[in-house]
Structure 1
């Protein structure tokens, strides 16, 4: 499990976010807290790495106090004002839940914002008796849009080394003749195939490139007699 260290420290853990869109960013919260990730409008979350556990000793925050907790904080050994020094035994290496990356990706990948609890209930307990944290490294990827009119074929592709992540898709119509003009436009509301996102995601997610046909045979006909189109929002991760 790794080496065990016992020493006097001031326990601290803060939420920190650094960087801007398209740069690698990091968010971190202590065990028992909820981690929130938000990307700017027009971008989605691409989770690069995640760790629930501990791979470093505690840091210092003068405004932080932590109570004795399940025997993890053994005894206070001194205090100055709000600073409470405690004797701590904890694992600081080899403590990472095997579910870390998969659970965070399930909650956050491709979303504009997400929340996930830093808890043993979500991730399991990789090192019993050690106070843990959840750290997530991610990027905010720009959302791209593509459209093709009914009976056409939509082709999506990403640069070499990146794969498609479908954010959303709609086969139907929610605009007038300014989009895919036709004399057969009878309905521009409540016209979206329920299968839209599932069909496109199944065909494209995780691939460098894909092709989807925009027709009723693939998606079903959400508004009979209306000329439709396929719109897709995606990112390259």
Structure 2
């Protein structure tokens, strides 16, 4: 769905699906969330996407920072407790640079909130970056929400948000179904460097052939793993068996797959 209007109102009922809204030269992408209606209103006269005006923008800064594609394939999604966000790279894979759950300024996610809920700008949940990096780095698409990082509460009484900063890096993205092999290889003289790997299921349309619906319906099964990196880093080629004996079983009864990303690079010495 593409529209060119001064004011955009989107209300969703059919799940899940992506909606892309193009307003003049800017493109915004929204994901419909299961079990929810999302209403997003963008007023171009008040939409502040430049860094010099964003500080005066309130809710508009939230909209810009959540949906705008930044230069150099860099994005900064922000999510309030009601909505998950999807980090996505159309080209390459996600490389998480930073992540914050808490509050770092008074403007983001402040609409309709009393001053005492937004005044604490030194609130940060410990370990958020490592969690998001482990969950999302090396993937093409990754969904997270505040429910993943909100315990324990880092600052009671403060209205918090989750903000991530990531780039899209060129890499080889590989998926191998359960009970098969993942084969990684590089050109002569180069070695493997694994960005990330996850054994589980996040998509019904991957590795689903000849499987009953009950084995592919759980798309919230995620098990980030270092096993591939430990087995393959520094080698010219590498094959690894994809099964529960190697990676464990993060979701019993679900037919899983291994997704990973890696680059081929020339080894450094010294």
TM-score (norm 2): 0.44
Larger radius of gyration: 1
**Higher-strand-fraction structure:** 1
TM-score (norm 1): 0.49
| Higher-RCO chain (CA-CA 8 Å, sequence separation at least 6) | 1
**Higher-helix-fraction structure:** 2
